[in-house]
Amino acid sequence: MKVIVDLTQCADHGQCVFSAPEVFSLDDDGKLAFRAQTDGDTYISGDLDESMRDDVEEAADVCPLQAIEIED
């Protein structure tokens, strides 16, 4: 399972961090930490453990901007 975040949609409000803190975090500037990990507009994670699936699905559900996709 991978997480894909459209950083052009994300507004850095952090709802995903509350749902899946083991995957999502905000940096010291209050930005989604994934922004620092890619030069592009899209962040694609490495393979995440299946144990995180419920939390990641909840994060995708609560994201107000529908910026999170899950790829199996």
12 lies in the site for ligand SF4, by CB under 6 A: yes
3 lies in the site for ligand SF4, by CB under 6 A: no
Give the interface size with ligand SF4 as a residue count (CB under 6 A): 14
SS3 string, the chain, reads CEEEEECCCCCCCCHHHHHCCCCCCECCCCCEHHHHHCCCCEEECCCCCHHHHHHHHHHHHHCCCCCEEEEC
Q: Spell out, one character per residue from 21 to 50, where the chain touches ligand SF4: x when CB under 6 A holds, - when not.
A: ---x-------x------------------
Binding positions for ligand SF4, rule: CB under 6 A: 5, 10-16, 24, 32, 63, 65, 67-68
